Amino acid sequence: MVYRKSIVITGASAGLGQGMARRFAAEGRDLALCARRTDRLEELADELKSRHGVRVVTRALDVNDHEAVFTVFREFRDELGALDRVIVNAGIGKGQPVGTGSFEVNRQTVQTNLVAALAQCEAAVEIFREQQAGHLVVVSSFSALRGLPRNVTAYAASKAGSASLADGIRAELHGTPIAVTTLLPGYIESEMTGGVGRTPLLSSNARGAAALVKAIEKERPRAYVPTFPWVLLSPVMRFMPVGQLRRFV
């Protein structure tokens, strides 16, 4: 395991981004946190600095402002001296069935979860190439494993795209000092899973964040998070008949 000191987390003002920030700060890592909601970011930064004595720098960032992504990542690098790890976490969970007059909602989902993820990956890997070191982490989703119906169609497609993007970058950088990890989280408590309802498959935010950090630290190419039950459910998801899939989702 490589010790990564300076870590960027996008979408860090709430949910899994916030949970990961707390876990990494407890381990003594310096953090660069960005999100649209700066009030939450500043509160989190003050908490982590006072509790753990780590460096925490923050920036307001809408990841759909692609030029700003490059600017903010470079500012983080300059302020911290280097970027050892970038976690592409920012995303949205909107979506409606295709053909129901909700193109704009579905477009926003694909734009944020895939195109903005590409911008973050481009900005991060550009810095890593200059440094000749780094770890890129792309937070995809278990839903990336196949096309899904109802409100999840655009979301699953966007996450499948981000997973494929990370896999392609990993192949491109094979044999270099730059590592790439694709994370496939299942149901973890956050703002995006608010509509899931009660299910034994839903992990608490604390457990989910801990599992994400554990998987990130191992720097494996791909990881289901939490490992149980999602690694066992992965072949079920891939080969489940469509009729059953519609009842499952």
Using one digit for the tens of pLDDT, what is the confidence trace for 35-94?
998 999 999 999 999 999 999 999 999 999 999 999 999 999 999 999 999 999 999 999
Please report the pLDDT score of residue 199 as a whole number.
65
Using pLDDT thresholds of 50, 70 and 90, give the confidence band for residue 201. confident
Backbone angles phi, psi at 92, to 5 degrees: -130, 155
Give the tokens for residue 198. 């009660």
The amino acid that residue 139 corresponds to is V
CA 140 to chain centre: 6
Positive or negative, the Cα torsion across 116, 117, 120, 125? negative
Catalytic residue, candidates 3, 155, 187, 224: 155
Domain boundaries, the chain: 6-248
Contact 145, 233 (CB under 8 A): no
Distance between CA atoms of 13 and 30, rounded to whole angstroms? 16
Distance between CA atoms of 107 and 101, rounded to whole angstroms? 12
Contact 97, 145 (CB under 8 A): no
Average pLDDT, the chain: 94
Please state, in angstroms and as integers, the Cα–Cα distance from residue 44 to each residue in 48, 49, 68, 219, following that order: 6, 9, 22, 26
For tokens 């460096």, what's the residue? 55
The amino acid that residue 82 corresponds to is A
Distance between CA atoms of 248 and 120, rounded to whole angstroms? 32
Contacts of 81 (CB under 8 A, 6+ apart): 6
Looking at residues 18-40, what average pLDDT do you find? 96
Looking at residues 115-119, what average pLDDT do you find? 98
Using pLDDT thresholds of 50, 70 and 90, give the confidence band for residue 198. low
Please report the pLDDT score of residue 196 as a whole number.
47
Maximum pairwise Cα distance, the chain:
53
- CATH code that applies to domain 6-248: 3.40.50.720
Positive or negative, the Cα torsion across 17, 19, 21, 24? negative
Looking at residues 101-108, what average pLDDT do you find? 97
Ramachandran sector of residue 101 (left: φ over 0; alpha: ψ -120 to 50; beta: rest)? left
What percentage of the chain exceeds 70 in pLDDT? 95
3 is known as an active-site residue: no
- Per-residue pLDDT of 160-194, as tens digits, reads 999 999 999 999 999 999 999 999 999 998 765 55
pTM for this prediction: 0.94
Please report the pLDDT score of residue 191 as a whole number.
64
